[in-house]
Amino acid sequence: MMAPHFERAAGQLEPSVRLAKVDTQAEPTLGQRHGIRSIPTLVLFRQGVEIARQSGAMDAGGIVRWTQQQLRA
């Protein structure tokens, strides 16, 4: 389960990065708008523009590394 890893990563990345979860079953329009086809999918936005996407579960360290790497690119 990825939820505890997501929470730990959120704590490590705040305040420079804000992580948020979306329940695509409860909000199918939002999932469709962003092209979410598999769960989990991480989408990184900068100033409202998608800059990176990653599907598949990751541990907290993987989420933090992926996020930092994408923000440096």
Rounded CA-CA distance 59/8 in Å is 9
pLDDT tens digits, one per residue of 10-53: 999 999 999 999 999 999 999 999 999 999 999 999 999 999 99
Before 15, cis peptide (omega within 30)? Answer: yes
Backbone φ and ψ for 10, nearest 5 degrees, come out as: -60, -45
- 57: domain CATH number is 3.40.30.10
What is the extent of the structural domain holding 40?
Answer: 3-72
Positive or negative CA dihedral for 22, 27, 32, 36? Answer: positive
- Domains: count for the chain: 1
- Two tokens at 27? 């909000």
In this prediction, residue 1 carries a pLDDT of 83
